[in-house]
């Protein structure tokens, strides 16, 4: 139609996947299934590879090994800076542990954590490797908004998985699972009833975390959710930068008289000399 602006061809965001260890290739494949160009799913192994990224996925694997390798490669400070920058970061399984502020059940000597996610996570909450399992869970409303209304459940794969046992008030719960039989918690709801579920997926601002492995299923809704978080965050950052540039440009173009205070005192020449003495 006449008068309509031509559509703007906005390039796809660039999303990094920490490729130290774990299921990073599967995450890259899921992002491609969501329509992200292959070259925009970047495997990250060095600090320089974080440059120009709009989001980052920290995959499953062995959290202590990931932390040790990241520290040895000088990646840990860069990862902390990236997370603190406000760009979206998603941790799955070991990545959830890495993002947590507090971790229980750590190996002797502990491990480095990126932090930022106000939760306490219990490593290997569901047991060892032999206790790994798959299950169907109710689809959270955040995924239903992505076109999943006709699919009331999603497939969750837990491999020597952690769980969130405590969260801060700014953390939104996206998914929970019934506690294994015989397991109890010390937490209770507002009515004093013991809680029989444990948290396995949360969001806190631009941080997303899941205790399970969406990248190992054919369901790409979790990756679509993260891609939407990244795109919205990039668009807001671009709009803020454009507004800041526009304001700066207008200030530069304004004549000096327009930015001088109108009520400055005016002295006669003699008064000026006296004033400066």
Query: Measured in whole angstroms, how far is the alpha carbon of residue 244 from the centre of its chain?
Result: 25
> Cβ(24)–Cβ(52) under 8 Å?
no
Within 7-139, residue ranges assigned H as helices are 24-33, 63-72, 75-84, 94-99
Quick one: CA dihedral 162, 168, 171, 176, positive or negative?
positive
Query: Pick the catalytic residue: 26, 142, 166, 215?
Result: 215
Share in percent of the chain as helix, strand, coil (round to 5):
35, 25, 40
Query: Pick the catalytic residue: 27, 54, 213, 223?
Result: 213
- Whole-number Cα distances in Å, 251 to 212, 258, 260, 261: 51, 10, 12, 15
Please name the residue that has the structure tokens 């292959």.
Answer: 38
Check if 28 is active-site: no
Nearest-angstrom CA–CA distance, 140 and 222: 10
Check if 93 is active-site: yes
Nearest-angstrom CA–CA distance, 271 and 194: 81
Query: Pick the catalytic residue: 93, 142, 166, 223?
Result: 93
> Cβ(137)–Cβ(223) under 8 Å?
no
Nearest-angstrom CA–CA distance, 132 and 158: 5
For residue 120, give every residue at least 6 positions away whose Cβ sits within 8 Å of its Cβ, in sequence order, or none: 100, 101, 102, 103, 104, 164, 165, 166, 167
> Cβ(115)–Cβ(100) under 8 Å?
yes
- Angle (CA) 51-59-77 rounded to 5° is 45
The catalytic residues are 93, 213, 215
């Amino acid at each position: 139609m006449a008068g309509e602006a031509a559509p703007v061809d906005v390039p796809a965001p660039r999303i990094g996947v920490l490729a130290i260890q774990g299921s990073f290739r599967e995450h890259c494949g899921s992002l491609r299934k969501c329509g992200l160009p292959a070259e925009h799913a970047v495997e990250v192994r060095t600090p320089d590879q974080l440059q120009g990224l709009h989001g980052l996925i920290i995959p499953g694997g062995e959290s202590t090994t990931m932390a040790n390798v990241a520290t040895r490669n000088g990646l840990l400070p860069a990862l902390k800076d990236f997370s603190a920058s406000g760009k979206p970061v998603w941790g799955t399984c070991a990545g959830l542990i890495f993002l947590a502020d507090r971790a229980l059940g750590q190996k002797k000597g502990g491990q480095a954590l990126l932090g930022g996610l106000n939760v306490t996570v219990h490593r290997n909450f569901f047991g060892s490797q032999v206790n790994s399992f798959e299950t169907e869970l109710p689809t959270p409303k955040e995924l239903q908004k992505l076109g999943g209304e006709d699919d009331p459940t999603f497939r969750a794969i837990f491999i020597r998985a952690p769980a969130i046992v405590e969260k801060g008030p700014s953390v939104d719960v996206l998914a929970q699972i019934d506690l294994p039989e015989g397991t109890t918690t010390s937490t209770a709801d507002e009515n004093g009833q013991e809680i029989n579920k444990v948290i396995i997926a949360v969001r806190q601002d631009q941080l997303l975390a899941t205790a399970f492995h969406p990248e190992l299923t054919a369901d790409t809704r979790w990756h679509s959710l993260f891609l939407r978080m990244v795109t919205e965050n990039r668009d807001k950052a671009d709009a803020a930068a454009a507004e800041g540039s526009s304001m700066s440009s207008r200030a530069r173009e304004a004549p000096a008289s327009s930015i001088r205070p109108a009520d400055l005192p005016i002295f006669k020449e003699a008064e000026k000399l006296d004033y400066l003495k």
